Amino acid sequence: METAEIARRFLAFFEKNGHTVVPSASLIAEDPTLLLVPAGMVPFKPYFLGQRTPPHATATSVQKCIRTKDIEEVGKTSRHATFFQMLGNFSFGDYFKERAIPLAWELVTTPVEEGGFGIDPERLWVTVYLDDDEAAEIWRDKVGVRPERIQRMGKEENYWDMGVPGPCGPCSEIFYDRGPEYGAEGGPEADENRYIEIWNLVFMQYERGEGSGKDYPILGELPKKNIDTGLGLERLAAVLQGVDNIYETDIIGRVLHRAAELTGTRYGDDEQQDVMLRVVADHVRSAVMLVGDGVRPGNEKAGYVLRRILRRSIRNLRLLSGTDASFLHELTEVSIDAMKDIYPDLLDKAQVIFGVIDTEEKNFADTLRSGTALFNRAAERTRAAGGSTFSGADAFQLHDTYGFPIDLTLEMAAEQGLQVDEDAFTELMTRQKETAKRDAKAKKLGNADISVYARLLDTSGATEFLGYTDHEGEARVLGLIVDGEAVGAARAGDQVEIVLDRTPFYGESGGQLADKGVIEADGRGVADIDDVQKPLPGLFVHRGTVRSGELVLDDTVRAAIDTDRRASVSRSHSATHLIHSALRNALGPSAGQAGSENRPGRLRFDFTAERALGEAELAEVEEEVNTVLAGDIQVRDFQTSLDEALKMGALAMFGEKYGDRVRVVEMSDYSRELCGGTHVGATGQLGVVKLLGESSIGSGVRRVEAAVGIDAFRRLSKESLLVGQLSEQLKTPREELPERIDAMVTRLRAAEKEIERLRAERVLQAAADLAAGARETAGALLVVHRAEDGATGDDLRRLALDVRGRLDADRPVVVAVAGVPKDRPVVVVAANKAANQRGLKAGELVGVAARELGGGGGGKPDVAQGGGTDAGAVDRALSAVEARVATSA
């Protein structure tokens, strides 16, 4: 049975049994205590915690999940994966064990031709919590599972909680027996490799108190008992498709076998290669889903997770193929095709997904080059110091800063005859993981308290937004919140959050900043509003300060926005849509929106792109946008179904959640997007749009910024004034300024080069005198010299080598030269072959000097360079070299 069919049957079964089918939430968690969604129940967490009232008594879903805690185990076991899908059925105080258990058994064992999964009951075992007699009895008496197939397990295996005070309860799990060839008899407690868990039924019936791990008190029963189940889609697919592990199922297996073809390997021939192929298959699919949900590669949070799995994929592909060829584009295509039956929206996002992943693969190739250079310098320092062990600190820096896997460092070190201090590397990795665990634990301890907003939303309903047509209106005060607590009144000076039944204020969303304005109770009090947020969908929370008097619950008030600010922000928002269309016309559909901000008179627009735009392309985009403005196209908005909007070509932003009904904003056929923001009535109202620049803000993501309307005019006026001043000062017509400035810059650079040449010559003129003044120290000829400030590192290096070359090559010679270019001290040491034979090596001597300077350095035995931060220690650094030579006899 194909994976997509398993998911379809699961949802159909529970829908037939009265459950509402809920689509998967985004992988990007709304819960501020989480980075990504790690479990199927996460989107329902506010209902289980009582923070929000569930819209349905029961629900079922196929939830996308990401877990990276055990990323190092991916590919090594039959069950670990970073991306997986959790089938679940949920009851919010509706039914409990007596229905959840029989439903699970019915679906799993019902014959395929009758809509079930058709698993032989004789292959199934179940576990229950130690003292959960109720669940054991239902399994035995109602379902008919033989008592010897029901095993009781402890708190670690069969008890669930959220890691914080709140709901908890026992679990019951269904295991599938893979057969004697996979391990020992005796059920799950005997061998969890043979007996694999496929479904976990969680019975939330108690409230837990404070504690750590599984050591906490039970405070009592919950007023409403809940059901949360999780059936691993990939694990069940492995069982129903008769394969050994999840990597060989129909969806993941397609990527795995294509990776084998591309790299010239064959799955099943070599265990080490098999692990790498499984890692690639898992990680490519994970990357596709993360990018599809709006994540972009970066150095922190979800972006770091994406970057890490992509780089692990690239590294494994290079090891498998023995080449630096690019394979991710084709594997991404295979993965999208394999997943499209479950997630058809991947086809619409395909070009953006390709663009992001292709760019990261290219960037990592550049990173590998940079990291390799760092490795070579560190290896050179190791050999120069006479060592044979590459430091664990350097290996960790390569891993942490450049994304170098440790196996790459080990391989490169072995090629140069070096070992790696793996113990030190492991210690540093352990420290990092412990820090990460502490951070994760700290995050778990808190759960954003949105209950005060949830109660308002539940009791009063969503806020009616008037702002598309009205700039002010009468409203009723439904809620007042001061210092996180609901209050009956807010008085002068209070920082207050105000919830109204209706409002003209736009709440910050979709890149558009919130409105500002006032809320006034006639003759009673006035509050200045400087921000509006929507902590829950449909709930507008006005944040500001009570200027005078007081506002009281149930007051009738007048809410009025700053209309000039609204008009300016609306112009920026409409300009954003136009720039988006112009960029797509210039770069193709892969230029997808990756974020935006619309503020008064200014905007920024982030988009996916594999390369920078040249000045000529930016000029064309700007001209195209302003041509549309001159056409004074009417801006129209209307509501329709999501399907209909997408059919007519309306663009949707990645990461945004849309309901069944959506608002479309269109400017003729030039621009058509799903958007809840405010806009101008016609494009001519924008006046003018001036692009201010384009830059990179991350892997595969670029940003343009622009001024709009009067702000754009002021910018152009300022630039015109500046050009006029230059024209006057240089006595050159405006149109000839580029050539005149270019000629001046050329002459200036030539002069700087000549000055540099003369200065270098002056430094080298000292070589003969320095050589003549060499003094004998412990049988060696020694020269130490402080050059004039400003001499570059290259000057010092040339001087040291010149002096060394003038001295007797048959005698040990050491030359140490130091200077302070650009406020940072540099020292260069040159030693000849005779000195090396005496144990005087440049790399070691530079280290002696650099320590005095508060830094480090290294190089070959014959010449080495170092530096530091203490410019006042140059003389001490040279004295340290002199002292080291003096003790070498």
Q: Please report, in range form, the residues annotated as the binding site for Zn(2+).
A: 573, 577, 675, 679
Asked if 696 contacts 612 with a C-beta cutoff of 8 angstroms, the reply is yes
Distance CA 203, CA 534 (A): 33
Distance CA 820, CA 832 (A): 25
CA distances 459 to 298, 552, 570, Å, are 41, 18, 33
CA distances 813 to 415, 819, 829, 833, 838, Å, are 32, 20, 10, 8, 10
Helix orientation angle between 328-339 and 301-321, rounded to the nearest 10 degrees: 120
With 0-12 / 13-18 / 19 or more C-beta atoms within 10 angstroms meaning exposed / middle / buried, residue 510 is middle
Distance CA 629, CA 576 (A): 13
Residues in binding site: 573, 577, 675, 679
Residue 254, H or E segment = helix 250-263
Of 250, 258, 399, 376, give the one whose Cα is nearest residue 317. Answer: 258
Asked if 479 contacts 488 with a C-beta cutoff of 8 angstroms, the reply is no
Parallel, antiparallel or unpaired: strands 495-500 and 556-561:
unpaired
Distance CA 634, CA 17 (A): 49
Distance CA 789, CA 818 (A): 9
Of 71, 66, 81, give the one whose Cα is nearest residue 27. Answer: 66
Asked if 510 contacts 533 with a C-beta cutoff of 8 angstroms, the reply is no
CA distances 638 to 34, 195, 470, 665, 863, Å, are 36, 55, 17, 7, 73
Asked if 182 contacts 243 with a C-beta cutoff of 8 angstroms, the reply is no
Q: CA end-to-end span of the chain, whole Å? A: 81
Distance CA 587, CA 605 (A): 15
Residue 346, H or E segment = helix 345-384
Q: Which amino acid is at 34?
A: L
